[in-house]
Amino acid sequence: MTLDVIATYATAVFLLIGSGFVIVGVIGLLKFNDPMTRLHAPTKVGTIGIGMLLLASMTHAFASGDGSLHELLIMAFLFVTAPISANFIAKVNIHSRTCEVPPSPSRDDTWSTLKSPDLDQEIKGGVQE
């Protein structure tokens, strides 16, 4: 087996694995009803699926002699921004109370995103929300 044949098989395997993860993410996005459960499908599974598709693209590019590292930059951007956007979407759902509210903290009552210190409550008291 030559290196080209191995690279072709590796590209095919990466494409199949990536496509499988993307399909599972799409099915999860369509099947789940609650916004917080729907959040896991595209962020967790979709990130791995897109990462595998980009890895397939890199493998094919290097096998054909047109090596490209643009996919590494795309993967880095994707792996950095996906958790941040998922965190913001989760916070919006928690604050708008469209999902279950997290339990109250046991020791400290000001660390939670839904509880403000008493001083903040006094400041907000004069402002209409």
Largest CA distance in the chain: 76
pLDDT digits (tens, 9 = 90+) for 27-67: 888 888 877 777 777 777 778 888 899 999 999 998 888 87
pLDDT (tens digit, 9 = 90+) per residue, 56-101? 999 999 888 887 788 889 988 888 888 888 888 888 877 777 767 6
Judged on CB neighbours under 10 Å (0-12, 13-18, 19+), 125 is exposed
Six-digit token string for 65: 């002699």
CA-to-CA distance for 58 and 64, rounded, in angstroms? Answer: 10
Can you give the residue ranges of every domain in the chain?
Answer: 3-102+112-125
Burial of residue 51 (CB within 10 Å: 0-12, 13-18, 19+) is: buried
For residue 43, give both structure tokens.
Answer: 């962020």
Q: What is the pTM of this model?
A: 0.67
Of 39, 43, 35, 25, nearest to 79 by C-alpha is 43
